[in-house]
A and B are shown apart, each in its own frame.
Chain A
Amino acid sequence: MAQTARTMTPGSTASASTGLLRSARFRAEREADWQALEKLVAKAEQKGLHRMEFAAARDLAAGYRRATTSLAIAREISLDRALLEYLEALTARAYLCVYAPQERLGGLVQRFFTTSAPQAMRRSALFIAIGYLCMGLGALTGYLLYFENEAWYFVFMPAELAGGRTPEATTGFLRSVIYDTNPDQTGLGAFATFLFSNNTRIAIFVFGLGVFLCAPAIILTFYNGLSLGAIMALHVDRGLGWDMGGWLSVHGVTELSAICIACGGGVKLGAAILFPGALSRRAALQRAGRDAVKLALVAAVMLLVAALLEGFLRQMVQDMTMRYAIGWGVGALWLAWVLLAGRGRA
């Protein structure tokens, strides 16, 4: 190659230096077009693409495509760094404007609740069932172990969570917790305290830790079941089983379901890592993530509802049957939503 370069006539380089360079001509011919695009990009970034007039939006898209062509050509024919850097930046800015998400926030929320969330729940039925199974087995184990030896209670139940409800407490005290007519907190305060109580943290952990091969999600859910079983066993032991069931039902049906659903999402992520199938692990994780995120969002909404029920309704309703009716009624509504919503649409 160097050989051919040396055979070139000196005249050709001399004429090029007078300003008739191919790359300089290329730039001079297109400069106005690029500057017009620059203005459109600035406008689109300021106002948003959906608020631009039709003609401007059309010009932006067309100008962007011309700029990509210019960039590809300039990379081949020009060594002018200023030009290359300008075109790189301009094309990238225009690219970011043209390929922007075009979604309205309102439609998004509506679509989530009417179609995509219930569909994701139905698709992940197996994983959610695993979540319920973990919780159920944990509760059963905790229940049986309590009757074997009361000391297990202290193993399963952290002291701050029990709030004095231990095997040493009197039956009268246990009853007073269940039917507490003058609480020391306002509704809003109780709502907030609840939301940041143990169970929300467990739900977040259960979901997030599922990535690590499912095990943490399953263990945590099982553990949560253990403490549930132990506290139930304590109350059954004192003949308060039905009353405790009512107290727990008001928010528990929704709240414990939320944990099971979060566990289902976590297990789904972990399963994608364990059994990626024909995909790479990262691709499998990304695919599983599409449904798992919806499960996490559903769990979050359910926890909010549970907090509302706990904060406001539980102390207002003191009747056991009413408590059962509210708790399981809300549970039935959730079930109906999951089973019926979003059918018949793509």
Chain B
Amino acid sequence: MTAAPQTRRSSRRSRRRDRPSPNTVMSPEGVPLTLRVAGIGVRLSAQVIDVAITMTAVICIVILLGLLNLTTPQTLYAIGAMAFFLIRIPYYIATELVWNGQTLGKRLLKIKVIGHDGRSLTTHAVVLRNLMKEAEVFLPGTLLFTLDATTPLLSLLSFGWIVMAFLIPLLNPHRQRLGDLLAGTHVIHLPVPVLLRDLVRETPTRGVAGKFVFLAHQLDHYGAFELQTLEGLLRVDDRRMAPAAYGHHRKTLGEIIERIRRKIGYADPVPPADHPAFLQAFYAAQRAHLEQRQLFGDRRADKHHAVPGRK
């Protein structure tokens, strides 16, 4: 509870804030958009799905060739490898071009390739990043099977290449692999737009409209973070809760209201029946107040906004 660790933490936080977030992309219109960078795990899963799809096609082709007697068992492996190679390269390039940066695996997992600079994906970028995939993903993948103690130098080289291919995405904030770096792309999660109801416009519970009035100085304590936390709490649907959970929820509401009352100096006690209405009213008043302050250029990120020396 000493001040020292707190200041250290805050300075680290401010440094992190100074760096531009990897999750924003500047659109050509000049409005920064939030597009969350996709992690290694989800991208690897998409890759596995794509490999499974192309592999299935290859197996079908090899079986067909076998039925037509066009191949002998000795060359079966080589023909399979060739078919895999000849199918997967056009597959990745064509799907990413046709579906705007999504292969089938990426479509299933709702991730997408976008241009790093915010402009649209170019053909060159798609071709380049998928060709580099050969050297970065498939080559290490096959090299992994050829690691062999009898040729230490070659094995060491292959191992170094595999490690590097995996480390590059881990070491940069956009999780770009080498092909992404060269092509100027990165992979993002597709955002899902869901419009929830506006809590302020809701019809207040009957009989309590205008019942709770907050004064301006009472609304000076909290910032946007607390407001939006309260918003999250108010959006919890308590009508479909199990009885035990519902009781717990109501108890939490009561405790929160007690803390708010103590903090803002709200004298009148709130009867348990009015708890949701009180919070609703407090949310509306607090939001109105903070939005008004924001219009005047006084952005309040959280409850520490009034402490001097912290922003």
* Chain A residues close to B by CB (< 8 Å): 1-2, 4-6, 8-10, 12-14, 16-19, 21-24, 27-28, 31, 34-35, 38, 48, 65, 68-69, 71-72, 76-83, 85-86, 88-93, 95-97, 99-101, 103, 105, 108, 185-186, 188-193, 195-196, 204, 207-208, 211, 282, 285-286, 289-290, 293, 296-297
Contacts and interface: CB of A to CB of B under 8 A. Distances in A.
Interface stretch (B12-20, B184-192, B249-257, B264-272): B184-192
A80 B198 contact: yes
Contact of A82 (B31, B134, B139, B231): B231
A264 B287 CA distance: 63
Contacts of B121: 99-101
B291 A90 contact: no
A88 B228 contact: no
How many interface residues does chain B have, given as a range?
Answer: 35 or more
16 contacts: A17-B285, A18-B209, A21-B288, A24-B198, A28-B201, A71-B31, A96-B101, A96-B112, A101-B120, A103-B123, A188-B70, A195-B82, A207-B135, A282-B181, A286-B183, A289-B128
B75 A5 contact: no
A2 B292 CA distance: 13
Contacts of B79: 188-189, 192
B124 interface: yes
A76 B195 contact: no
Interface stretch (B41-49, B237-245, B294-302): B294-302
B78 A189 contact: yes
Contact of B75 (A24, A83, A188): A188
A24 B201 contact: yes
B84 to A, nearest CB: 10
Given A13-B285, A103-B97, A189 B74 contact: yes
Given A4-B296, A77-B295, A286-B184, 14 more contacts: A6-B216, A14-B214, A18-B209, A24-B200, A31-B195, A72-B31, A77-B294, A90-B193, A91-B31, A100-B120, A100-B121, A103-B97, A186-B70, A189-B75
Interface of B: 27-29, 31, 33-35, 65, 70-72, 74-75, 78-79, 81-82, 85, 94, 97-98, 100-101, 112, 114-115, 119-124, 126-128, 131-132, 134-135, 139, 178, 181-184, 190-201, 209-210, 213-217, 219-220, 224, 227-228, 231-232, 235, 281, 284-285, 287-296, 298, 306
Nearest to B214: A13
Contacts of A23: 200, 287, 291
Contacts of A88: 33-34, 191
A13 B195 contact: no
B292 A16 contact: yes
A208 B198 contact: no
Contacts of B101: 96
